[in-house]
Structure 1
Amino acid sequence: MKLMLKNVLIVDGSGWFPYWGDVVCENGEVTYIAHGENTIMDQEASMDKIVDYKEGDYTLAQGWKAYLVPGIDAPMDMAKFEKQLDAIIAGEKAGKPIEKTVRELTGFGYDKIEFLKVGSPATFMLVDRKPVTKILAAYVDGEEL
């Protein structure tokens, strides 16, 4: 199944600012990450499922309602995602941006530059933003939990 998560703010584990875009998954792995808005509209017809996380009539990242955060402890399950969410909420309450909390969770070192990239397992959660309070959806190897 080809799944497209459209208009999400991607937190890739690198520690850099979240960036907006689309994530395409097929056969349990991330096959494409599009930076920006509506960059692969011409390919939407080939998708089996599209979930759009944009609301309102805003531009750029203002109206986007979800962060996409990679699962960091394989094999992931809902309990591990909830633990990860608790760490993000605690970090946010302490004034730490989500990208820094996720970077701490993924670990540091030359081999941990990004956790979410093309070819990585499609294992991630989508959480609401401003403030982060809940998991909107969670995927393990491209299948929704």
Structure 2
Amino acid sequence: MKEIITEINGISIYKNFVENLPYNPKLKPLLSGKRKAGILSEVIFWKQVRAGKFHNIDFDRQRIIGNYIVDFYVKNLGLVIEIDGWSHDTKEIYDEVRQKYLESLGLKVFRIKDFDVKNNLAIVMKDLEDFIIKHYKY
């Protein structure tokens, strides 16, 4: 039987832990620099989700998966959250390859625009709730 990890709007959300994710230790030195860079949209989002503030769900910031560092990761759901800034406008193919790789590991990817985090945060958080409900309610 699947384990319920939280409820969102009265809907049970079930655990979807993905085991044995690949990890490239050579990327570890990059983590603190990325965290210290303080990208505004990431800091704003982190303040909304850190320490279980978002439906008591545990988020990791700057997590290594394979040869990538993802913006946010929810272990109990196998969920990657990526915030796309202006630099992603020229990296569509890279982002597509990266997303297909992450999905091939059994992960789900929720993408958010940097602009929306800064200007429509309530909508972003509602969209994240809806995404989690859609993919993890069973």
> Is the TM value for this pair above 0.5?
no
Q: Give TM-score scaled by structure 2 length.
A: 0.27
| Structure with more relative contact order (C-alpha pairs < 8 Å, separation 6 or more) | 1
Higher helix residue share: 2
Higher strand residue share: 1
